[in-house]
Amino acid sequence: MKSNKEKNSLSISKQTSFSPSRVETILPPKLASRLDLYPENKRRPVNKTIFKNEYFQLTYNIKENSLNVSSIGDLVYSAIPYDTARNYIQRAAIQYLLHPEEVHQYIRSHKVNLETYLKLSIFQMTNKRVNKNSAKVIQAYNAIFEDPLLEIQILGRLLQHDETGALSANLPGKFLFSENVKTGISGYVSEYLNFIVQLTQELPITTDGKHVYLLETNGKDHFISDKHLTIESDIQPALDLLPQEIKQRIENSIIVAKQTTPANNKLLLRSEVGKELSEVRKNYNAHSVDPRELEQYFENVLPTENPNVVNVVSDIHTIDGTLPFNNKNFNILVGDIADSHVVNEEIKGLYVIGNHELAAVLPDSPNKEDQEWEKWTPFFKNEWFKELMRNPDDSWDKLPTGNHIYYECVKVELGKRFPKVNVLNNSSIVHNGIRYIGLTIPVALVKRKKEQQKFILNSLNYLLNNDYDIPTVIVSHAPLFNELSMLSPKSKSYKKNYVCSDPKIKQLFEEYNIIGAIHGHHHIPASSGRYKMVEFAGKERFVVCSIYSKMNTGFELMSLLKDEKQNKK
């Protein structure tokens, strides 16, 4: 039986990405036969409709060999401008269907933070401050558990809070029932639940609210878990908690495709309110605050202990001088661990240098004549170093490539602070039969790609050292290049020219047993998946990116390493 602490963790952040090769390139007959049902497929070269109702659709992307659920144009997800929680709320909806009691416990475990949000929400509405014991806060907290559709949204907001930091903009619409009913999100959630249940009942599909997969591949189920909805899932306990008309619609939708909209969950349709919403967004001032500035007002209610055997984490950016998680095993720290002077004499593993370490290791003293600045004086003549001292954010694109002496000085300083960690500055170690090569790539030097890739080639040639057989993982803060990056082409940070253009690098990957690459830097949330399998230089390899968040204190690399050892056998 799970302890209360384990129950409160709910484990719903443990999202897993699966290789496209695990999804058949040719759709199974039951899905392929549906393509002719939708005339729009004739004019769609890539995204083909497989299944849809009035408000949602399942599409198949031919190029990416992937399935995706999306709302159809007229349905508005939220009247709150720039509301970024849709994926979190969809994940929360699936978890509510599967584990309603665990959802209740998870939300209750966050009571202290919810009270803070409710106090702020009431202040944003009334401009009057209240304390957590006031009748208004107590009433608002109890209201969460009286409306399942609001409870699903609150769970989604808490997932976002734990993964990306504290929320600040438009809190009343997100946390107060009286204001939330005006946002249209409850109507969106009810239609999403209705569609997703119908979809998983009628087709061999499974979903966790973010990713969608074929339930069967070659007759075998690869990723059925208690976090994925399937035709076999027992959702009756959750349905019994939903409003009667929603419950009835969902139960009917399993058999009947025709739907009616419940009166108390009004949908926002773009055809009706689009102009009004456009004006609101046009004049909207979010008054949002950087989540890091708000952390002092919230408590971490989640466990900080991490049991992973090989634990991958990056981009902690800690500012209080301590690591916010604890792992007693082998850690792979992939840069940007600290924005302050952090010392940890117990943590073990390896550490590669990120861009923020370059400034964090410098003395706090503003007086450049102090003795503690002496070791850094040889770099004073460099413009990039002057910029690093003045304003680090303006210096990143000017940094030297990773074979510069400055990085060795940074390595020495980090080694003093983390005495049990191997700081890899273009060097390697072997741990439990796996060779880890740590390359110093603090940022993606897109405009100096040729210079960067020359450095990568020379470093790998030296560090691979003609040992062709040992399984090897390459670790760097910024990704080596696009082919071995978790960054989506849809991201604003994505640079299409940052590709591997040196054929000699590809040749090395062909010849050596390089099984995967690990990077950080781009702050890719765990909800987007922590790893993927890619085809590069004639072989399938894993790419891992695991940034830190309160729900994600690291990724267990052993699952991928075990797969590799099993494949080798």
Query: Using one digit for the tens of pLDDT, what is the confidence trace for 274-320?
Result: 888 887 777 777 778 877 788 888 888 988 999 999 999 999 999 88
Give the chain's domains with CATH numbers. Answer: 28-74+195-269 (no CATH), 86-185+286-293 (no CATH), 303-568 (3.60.21)
Q: How far is CA 472 from the centre of its chain?
A: 25
SS3 334: coil
Distance CA 295, CA 167 (A): 10
The answer on pLDDT for 265 being more than 80 is no
Distance CA 169, CA 518 (A): 34
Mean pLDDT calculated for residue range 532-552: 93
Q: In this structure, is the dihedral angle defined by the CA atoms of residues 152, 180, 129 and 320, taken in order, positive or negative?
A: positive
Those residues whose C-beta lies under 8 Å from the C-beta of residue 300, and which sit 6 or more positions away, are: 324, 550
Residue with tokens 């773009």: 270
- When mean pLDDT is compared over 314-328, 405-419, 539-553, the highest value belongs to 405-419
Q: Where is pLDDT greater, at 257 or 70?
A: 70
Alpha-carbon distances, residue 331 vs 72, 325, 484, 521, 543 (angstroms): 43, 11, 21, 17, 17
The answer on pLDDT for 565 being more than 60 is no
Give the model's pLDDT for residue 3. Answer: 41
User: Cα–Cα–Cα angle for 225, 231, 235, nearest 5°?
Assistant: 80
Among 50-64, 246-260, 322-336, name the one with the lowest average pLDDT. Answer: 246-260
Give the model's pLDDT for residue 26. Answer: 62
Element at 312 (helix H, strand E): strand 310-313
Distance CA 441, CA 370 (A): 30
Kindly write down the DSSP assignment for every residue of 59-82, as one continuous string: EEETTTTEEEEEE-TTB-S-SSTT
What's the chain's average pLDDT? 87
The answer on pLDDT for 116 being more than 80 is yes
Give the model's pLDDT for residue 31. Answer: 84
Mean pLDDT calculated for residue range 522-542: 90
Q: Where is pLDDT greater, at 264 or 176?
A: 176
Residue with tokens 């030297």: 400
The answer on pLDDT for 514 being more than 80 is yes
User: 366: burial class by Cβ within 10 Å (0-12, 13-18, 19+)?
Assistant: exposed
Q: Where is pLDDT greater, at 228 or 157?
A: 157
Give the model's pLDDT for residue 143. Answer: 96
Buried/exposed code over 391-408 (b: 16+ C-beta within 10 A; e: otherwise): ebeebbebbbbbebebbe
**Length of the chain, please?**
569
pLDDT tens readout for residues 77-103: 999 998 999 999 999 999 999 999 999
Q: Where is pLDDT greater, at 18 or 194?
A: 194
For residue 563, name the pLDDT band (cuts at 50, 70, 90): low
Task: State the pTM of this model.
Answer: 0.80
- When mean pLDDT is compared over 64-68, 155-159, 215-219, 545-549, the highest value belongs to 155-159
How crowded is residue 448: how many other Cβ atoms within 10 Å of its Cβ? 16
Give the model's pLDDT for residue 439. Answer: 98
